[in-house]
Amino acid sequence: MEEAILVGLDLEKDQNFENSMLELANLATACNITVLHTITQKSKRPTANYYIGSGKVKEVLEAITTLDANLVIFNDELSPSHIRNLEEQLNIKVIDRTVLILDIFARRAKTKEAMLQVELAQAKYFMPRVIGMHKHLSRQKSGTGSKGPGEQQLELDRRLLRNKITKLQGDLDSLVQVRRTQREKRKNNDIFTVALTGYTNSGKSTLMNSIIDIATTHKEEYVFEKNMLFATLETKTKRIHLDNNHIFLLTDTVGFIEKLPHHLIEAFKSTLEEISEASLILHVIDTSNKDYENQIKTVEEVLESIGVSEIPIVYVYNKVDLLEEIPLTIKDKSVFISAINNYNVNRLLETIDKFIYKTISVVTMLLPFNRSEIYAELKETSNILNTEYTEEGTTIQVEVNEYHLSKYKEFIK
Ligand SMILES: Nc1nc2c(ncn2[C@@H]2O[C@H](COP(=O)(O)OP(=O)(O)OP(=O)(O)O)[C@@H](O)[C@H]2O)c(=O)[nH]1
Ligand SMILES: [Mg+2]
């Protein structure tokens, strides 16, 4: 049983510090760790030796002894030397926010791809840090120039880890290739794609299910939703068919969190590409969280870091059932909804449809009788408004996107 003391450095520019410490406690709980106590320090910057001041280190040590803790968790990612110095002073295991996030991802990963992604991020995080885990061994170094058991072990561990990273990267690359090919195929159909994104636990998967509820007949395809951090790690795409015969693909993706480890972003690159290739992004916001404005900022920073800047975004203010009144500081291009009881989700679908309309032209086509496969394709992907059988062939009035417009332009009357 792990019983921990949380430590946070309150840097002056961080207005969000208190919430961030609460979130750290939630992350710890999600890893089955009991939080005994929280220690914070206000400071302009971290110190070189211990991240916190040496006086604070003493305070942490006292708390460890008094409360009988066996783990210390820092709210920021620590460097290998910070970990080494702190463990030397405190004599118990020291970890950071990144380790917790990686651990939760590891617990939640179900598909082969997600497992590889998490394992890769973990290995990369631990690579420069193996040294800290062997400090007790390396003290046994004997004789000038000769390698003690500690150092030999360290080199061996490093080599194993490096090989592991290469292997994981290779396995992941081949899986990603498969996914890219699938996506290319989808792109060829050029169906309008909408990606759900947002802070973890904001209600993305619940919204996906609500839309499936309203707009599809395949109710057995609901996605997993739950009140926990990082419920979704795998992307899921569903085909949504609106009443007016407009079709779009809706993709549910992994949520973001403050200080998302960069190794994770890197490892989840292929998953995040689903967002960067969407035609429209729905940024889902948990308005019942009093920190939601900072969460919006965090999400926007991650989106920027993965190169999303041109794609139109609709802000979806979710969980309004929990509010007494709608907040005033709301951006335009936004919709208020409650995904859990489908409130206003129809309004959101209308908004999405307006974006689809922008990509559509209404044309009349004359299809020769021997090209029935074109009719079948358009029936599957486009909205046929009118069909007439004439002597020359089938005349249809149809709403087509740019892709079909150029593909079949020879048949346009
Ligand atoms: N009251 C209320 N709760 C909601 C609403 N939408 C979602 N929730 C709850 O919020 C929790 C998280 O929902 P999810 O849909 O799993 O959230 P997510 O954004 O997919 O989260 P991750 O996959 O972890 O990133 C669940 O307990 C939902 O029931 C809402 O409109 N109102
Ligand atoms: Mg989810």
Q: What is the pLDDT of residues 138-157, one digit of tens each?
A: 444 444 454 555 666 777 78
User: Position 89: which residue type?
Assistant: Q
Q: Are residues 175 and 321 in the same domain?
A: no
pLDDT in tens, 337-381: 999 999 999 999 999 999 998 888 999 999 998 988 999 988 888
Q: Return the DSSP state at 69.
A: -
CA distance 277 to 301: 17
Instruction: Name residue, tokens 């990612």.
Output: 77
CA distance 218 to 222: 8
Q: Are residues 179 and 88 in the same domain?
A: no
Q: Are residues 250 and 313 in the same domain?
A: yes
Ligand 1 centroid, distance to 250 Cα (angstroms): 17
Here the CATH number for the domain that contains residue 91 is 3.40.50.11060
**pLDDT above 70 covers what percent of the chain?**
91
Ligand 2 centroid, distance to 255 Cα (angstroms): 7
Q: Are residues 139 and 95 in the same domain?
A: no
Yes or no: say if 260 and 197 are a contact pair by the CB < 8 Å rule: no
What integer pLDDT is reported at residue 148 of this predicted model?
A: 53
Q: Are residues 205 and 335 in the same domain?
A: yes
Tally the domains of the chain. Answer: 4
Among 344, 204, 210, smallest CA distance to 286 is for: 204
Q: Are residues 353 and 369 in the same domain?
A: no
Ligand 1 centroid, distance to 37 Cα (angstroms): 29
Q: Are residues 30 and 115 in the same domain?
A: no
Domain end marker among 136, 168, 188: 188
pLDDT in tens, 153-182: 777 788 888 999 999 999 999 988 887 787
Best residue among 196, 206, 284 to mutate for probing ligand 1, ranked by most atoms within 8 Å of CB:
206
Q: Are residues 352 and 326 in the same domain?
A: yes
Domain end marker among 134, 162, 188: 188
pLDDT in tens, 319-338: 999 998 876 656 667 899 99
* pLDDT band with cut points at 50, 70 and 90 for residue 136: very low
Domain end marker among 130, 165, 188: 188
Find the farthest-apart pair of alpha carbons in the chain and give their distance in angstroms, rounded. Answer: 99
Return mean pLDDT, the chain.
Answer: 88
Range of the domain at 393: 361-411
Buried b (16+ CB within 10 A) or exposed e, 60-88: bbebbeeeebebbbbbbbbeebbbbbbbe
What integer pLDDT is reported at residue 110 of this predicted model?
A: 84
Q: Are residues 317 and 366 in the same domain?
A: no
Yes or no: say if 137 and 149 are a contact pair by the CB < 8 Å rule: yes
Contacts of 217 (CB under 8 A, 6+ apart): none
| Average pLDDT value for residue range 201-228 | 87
Q: Are residues 205 and 278 in the same domain?
A: yes
pLDDT in tens, 12-68: 777 789 989 999 999 999 999 999 999 999 999 999 999 999 999 999 999 999 999
Q: Hey, what are 385's tokens?
A: 């408004």
* pLDDT band with cut points at 50, 70 and 90 for residue 79: very high
Give how far the C-alpha of residue 279 lies from the chain's centroid of Cα atoms, to the nearest Å.
18
The residue whose CA is least distant from atom 2 of ligand 1 is: 319
Here the CATH number for the domain that contains residue 248 is 3.40.50.300
Best residue among 225, 235, 250, 338 to mutate for probing ligand 1, ranked by most atoms within 8 Å of CB:
225
Our answer on whether the CB atom of 339 is closer than 6 Å to any ligand 1 atom is yes
The residue whose CA is least distant from atom 21 of ligand 1 is: 201
| Average pLDDT value for residue range 120-138 | 72
Q: Are residues 7 and 93 in the same domain?
A: yes
Q: Are residues 316 and 231 in the same domain?
A: yes
CA distance 357 to 245: 12
